[in-house]
Amino acid sequence: MPPVIEVRHLHKRYADKIAVEDVSLTVQEGEILGILGPNGAGKTTTVECIEGLRVPDRGTIEVLGLDPHRDRAELTRQLGVQLQAGQLPEHLRVAEALELYSSFYPDPADWRTLMDGLGLGEKARTRYGKLSGGQKQRLSIALALIGSPRLAILDELTTGLDPQARRDTWELVEGVRSRGVTIVIVTHFMEEAERLCDRVALIDAGHVVVVDTPAGLTERAGIEQRIRFRPSAPLDERLLTALPEVSGLTRRGETVIVTGTGDALNAVTAVLARNGIVALALRVEQASLEDAFVRLTGAHPHHS
């Protein structure tokens, strides 16, 4: 099956600022790809080129077999894009906006179902200008999905939402994907990428640093696992430090802290068991996607 999105050597500059140096990426049918990167990395510029809103200076882009710029009218019918703030008239009511937008598409989703699914049912008669930031955000997601798109591009999917609304939105996105829609998400939230994305493209300073599954990224970053426990009997540290999987051991009071590779836990617990020692209050700290992000880009993800 041909990919849904194929970007090859995209280069885009604004006056004297190079926003995207050289980005190549492929998105397969039915997957959720996350685009992650520090502020100003070129994420939004990349997706705006994919949507046909900006024209690349160099490189080629194919989306659903179309050239996003040349075939923009055709692409718009099959693509769902989240509206940016201020793109709707203040006086438009929620239900009116949904009904209006659904009339633009040949095969729209049921707007009432979308409205209820996004928790906007009670706001049906509220004017856009009177919605809270989170409610506006949810409406923008509903409008991105109203045309039953084959591909949805969601930039800053859950920015401004409270934790419960964020989780509800994740469930909604998973539901949309289970119907076969391909989804691209630009996000600053590592938890969101970890939970939703099949693969993550890490973009830094206009380049793709790496594309991998969230677990693969963590592994690539080579971040070690930390195992904490209290031995039930005196422990000869050499039993553990001799293991090839273990890179370090420290003690804090009665607690032993072992660092090591992904297989360290099995190796440590096996040795302890052989020596009749139980690991009490055992805790394992896995490297998170956030750790990998920091290691691979040298930047801290910003929290908005």
Q: Smaller CB distance to ligand ATP: residue 33 or 240?
A: 33
Q: Smaller CB distance to ligand ATP: residue 40 or 160?
A: 40
How far apart CA 59 and CA 13 sit, in angstroms, is 12
Q: Where are the beta strands (DSSP E) in the chain?
A: 5-14, 17-27, 32-36, 58-63, 79-81, 151-155, 182-186, 199-204, 207-212, 225-231, 246-252, 255-260, 279-285
Report in angstroms how near the CB of residue 271 gets to ligand ATP at its nearest.
46
Q: Smaller CB distance to ligand ATP: residue 205 or 239?
A: 205
Report in angstroms how near the CB of residue 215 gets to ligand ATP at its nearest.
24
Q: Smaller CB distance to ligand ATP: residue 203 or 292?
A: 203
Q: Smaller CB distance to ligand ATP: residue 30 or 40?
A: 40
- Of residues 25 through 84, those in contact with ligand ATP by CB under 6 A are 37, 39-45
Give the number of residues in contact with ligand ATP, rule: CB under 6 A.
11
- Of residues 155 through 214, those in contact with ligand ATP by CB under 6 A are none
- Of residues 4 through 23, those in contact with ligand ATP by CB under 6 A are 14, 17, 19
Residue 137: which of 5, 304, 289 has the closest Cα?
304
In the block, residue with structure tokens 């008669």: 125
How far apart CA 110 and CA 96 sit, in angstroms, is 13
- Give the Cα-Cα-Cα angle 41, 48, 301 (nearest 5 degrees): 30
148 is a site residue for ligand ATP (CB under 6 A): no
Report in angstroms how near the CB of residue 10 gets to ligand ATP at its nearest.
11
Q: Smaller CB distance to ligand ATP: residue 40 or 59?
A: 40
**Farthest CA pair distance, the chain:** 73
β-sheet bridge partners, residue 12: 20
Q: Smaller CB distance to ligand ATP: residue 54 or 166?
A: 54
Give SS3 for 35. strand
Report in angstroms how near the CB of residue 87 gets to ligand ATP at its nearest.
16
What's the token pair of residue 195?
A: 């939970």
Q: How many helices (H) and strands (E) does the chain have?
A: 11, 13
Report in angstroms how near the CB of residue 40 gets to ligand ATP at its nearest.
4
Report in angstroms how near the CB of residue 223 gets to ligand ATP at its nearest.
23
- Give the Cα-Cα-Cα angle 52, 57, 59 (nearest 5 degrees): 80
Give SS3 for 52. coil
Rounded (10°) angle between helices 133-145 and 163-178: 0
Report in angstroms how near the CB of residue 133 gets to ligand ATP at its nearest.
17
Annotate each residue in 264-283 with x if it binds ligand ATP (CB under 6 A) or - if it does not, as one string. Answer: --------------------
Residues that bind ligand ATP (CB under 6 A): 14, 17, 19, 37, 39-45
